[in-house]
Structure formats: structure tokens, C-alpha cells
Amino acid sequence: SSTFLHQTDRFAAALTSECLLLRFDPASLSLSCEARFTAELSNPGQTVCNVLRYSPSGAELLTGGDDGVVRVWNLASSTSTPRLALDDHHKEIVDAEWAPSGDRFVTCGRDRSVKLWSGEGACTDTIIPEKVKAVSPLAKFARFVNDTCLIVATHGPRGPSWLTIYDVGSDGKTKEVRKSQISKAVICSMAVSQDRSQAVIGFVDSTRMIISLAPTSMLSKNTAVVHEMPPGKAAFLLDKHVVCTSSADYSVNIWNIKKPARSHSLGCCWWLIFLLSLITLLYYGYLYAVEKGHFGGSGRIDEL
């Protein structure tokens, strides 16, 4: 896992239990390591840090991993002891995100729970996705559209995937606004643009989807096949109209989402045109053969 704070040109990257803080030099296109510390303290070397998120100010780093503990690190004071260590999740942490103001953050655990936290570490609400036709969805990603609007992505064991919008009150309590099924496939990656107006989502069927975000709605779904294998990572570049996706097929694709995307429906149309053309060709071939006497016995009778 890795995260980038473009205001300060700093990366944070996870190497198993450790975290590396790196500075990017745009002039030489190089990275230099500023600090290295153990983020997974419960069982160093045996557990993996899955999530790294800089706070909006860049002063703190939010981490979570296999040991199920959410940690907040004050990078200016100490990288040996976290400012917060929260163990309310009962299984590994799969995602985390700061609110734009930095006053609260959200985490997703393998225990199916989504938890909202104040900046001081108090859990203000817990969301357990409701069962859908006996399917118990797993909360995979959570993203703030703004301080009062949260989007949670969930999926079943083999699909489908849903997006749920929540209102977030000043007390940190949530209220569900809308839930929509967005794909029959399992979601595997998600990123939100820096202005939080759009989201890119990747699925295990090798498709990616662009969704326009609004506080109470999800609009303008745009789906396309972009890889031969699932796009496990997705990100917006500094330009909100440019999306980068990477896949286990060793490909990295960069997309201008303003341009029309090739989609499943377009592929189906081409296959339908090809099939109709083939049927037409065979039909006229049959008529020609009948006319020339290649079918039936009329040809042999005339010859007699």
C-alpha cells in the first residue's frame, strides 16, 4: 500500500509491517527516504500494513493492517509510538480515509464493520452492512465526498457490489440516504478525485467504472473493459479527468475520462452485426445453390 501528498511531494509506502516516508524530487524524478518505522506493532514481521493515509494537513499518518489495530502517527513528534492505537475492529483493517477537514476518519474491517472516529479517537458510529437476499456484504472501501457525506462500497463473496451513501451529522452519527447496486462483479479498487467530484472503481471482471458524485446521488456511470485481469489499483492524476489503473496482467493504463469509453455494450453490438452478416451471407449462399440446382433432384431429372 502507498499514499501520496501532492502538497508536500511526500509518499508513504508499506513494506510488510514497516512504513517508509519518502520525499519526491520533481526536478530529478527521484525518491529519498526520510524515515522508516514499524507500523504493525502487535506482531512485527508477521503482519502486513494494508492501509496508509496522510491527513489533509500532512502532519499525521493513518495506518491499519492485519493486526486489526488502527493507528494515528504524529509525524513531527514520534514514529516509534502512535498518538492513537484503536483496537475496536476484530479482524484486519482493509481501508481507511480522512474527512476533508481532518476532524474525523473512517475505517473498514474484515469483520464487516465500518467505524467513524473523531480526531481524538472516539468511535462515534459503527455501520454493519445489512444482508441482501441472505448475502452478508463485506465493507471494502469508504470515502468522504465532504465532511457530511460518506460513500461506502460493499460486495458479496462473489458479487454483486453496492455503493451506499450516508449523511454524517456533527456528532459523527450516520444516516443511510441511498443504496445502489453498481455491478454484478466484486469491487477490487476505488479512488476519488482530489476535488471529490468523481470516483473510479475497478472490478474483478476487468472493468472500471467512472461515477460522478454529488452529496445525495450517484450519476453518470461510465463502464469500460480496461485490462485482461482485475484492475487492483486505481488513482486519479492531478488532473481530475485523467485516471490511472494497474492490473495483475502487468499493464498500467492511463485514461482521459472525458473521451467516450469502449464498453461491453459496444462489443455486443459488433458481435451482433457480425452474426447478422454471417446469417445473411449463408442465406444468400443457400438461395444461389438452390437456383443452380445443387440441392434436390431437379438437376438430375433435366439431364435425363
| CATH of residue 156 | 2.130.10.10
The CATH number of the domain where 242 resides is what?
Answer: 2.40.10
Do both 57 and 151 map to the same domain?
A: yes
| Residue 287: predicted pLDDT | 73
Same domain, 57 and 122: yes
Per-residue CA distances from 173 to 122, 166, 168 (Å): 12, 9, 6
Residues 81 and 149 in one domain: yes
Q: If we measure between CA atoms, which residue out of 91, 97, 202 comes closest to residue 138?
A: 91
Same domain, 101 and 192: no
* CB half-sphere exposure, 56, CA atoms < 13 A: 14
Domain that holds residue 95: 45-184
User: What pLDDT is stored for residue 259 in this prediction?
Assistant: 65
Same domain, 109 and 216: no
Query: What does the pLDDT read at residue 292?
Result: 67
| Residues 78 and 170 placed together within one structural domain of the fold | yes
Q: 117 and 217: one domain?
A: no
**Claim to verify: residue 102 and residue 175 sit in the same structural domain:** yes
Look at residues 134, 161, 184 and tell me which one is the last residue of a structural domain. 184
Q: What is the DSSP letter of 297?
A: S
**3-state DSSP assignment of residue 241:** coil
Report the C-alpha gap between 4 and 206 in whole angstroms. Answer: 25
The three cell numbers of residue 89 are 475492529
pLDDT, position 49: 95
Contact between 125 and 174 under an 8 Å Cβ cutoff? The reply is yes
Alpha carbon distance 268, 198 (integer Å): 27
Q: Which of 136, 164, 184 is the last residue of a domain?
A: 184
Q: How many domains does the chain have?
A: 2
Residue 11 covered by a domain: no
* 137/59 same-domain check: yes
What count of other Cβ atoms lies within 10 Å of the Cβ of residue 147? 14
Contact 121, 84 (CB under 8 A): yes
Q: Looking at the chain, how many residues does it have?
A: 304
Cis peptide before 100 (omega within 30 of 0): no
Same domain for 143 and 265, yes or no, is no
Strand partners, 127: 114
Distance CA 84, CA 28 (A): 36
* CB of 131 closer than 8 Å to CB of 139: no
Quick one: pLDDT at residue 221?
Answer: 61
70 falls within a domain: yes
Choose the final residue of a domain: 184, 216, 235: 184
Whether residue 173 is found in the same domain as residue 194: no
Kindly list the distances between the CA atom of residue 169 and the CA atoms of 173, 216, 247, in Å, as whole numbers in the listed order: 5, 14, 37
pLDDT recorded at residue 3: 86
Along the 304 residues of the chain, how does pLDDT read in single tens digits?
788 887 788 889 998 999 999 998 888 888 899 999 999 998 888 899 999 999 999 999 999 999 999 999 999 988 889 999 999 999 999 999 999 999 999 999 999 999 999 999 999 999 999 988 888 899 999 999 999 999 999 999 988 999 999 999 999 999 999 999 999 999 999 988 888 888 889 899 888 888 888 655 555 566 777 677 787 778 877 666 788 888 888 888 887 877 654 444 344 455 566 667 777 777 777 676 767 665 554 444 344 3
Residue 147 is assigned to a structural domain of this protein:
yes
Cβ atoms of 232 and 251 within 8 Å: the answer is no
Give the Cα-Cα-Cα angle 59, 13, 33 (nearest 5 degrees): 75
- Rounded (5°) CA angle 72-232-259: 110
Element (H, E) at 289: helix 264-291
pLDDT at 144: 96
Res 304: pLDDT: 37
Determine, yes or no, domain membership for 40.
no
> What distance in Å separates the CA atoms of residue 143 and residue 96, rounded to the nearest whole number?
8
Q: Are residues 213 and 254 in the same domain?
A: yes
Ramachandran category for residue 201: left, alpha or beta (phi over 0 → left; psi -120 to 50 → alpha): beta
pLDDT at 228: 73
Residue 302 lies in a domain: no
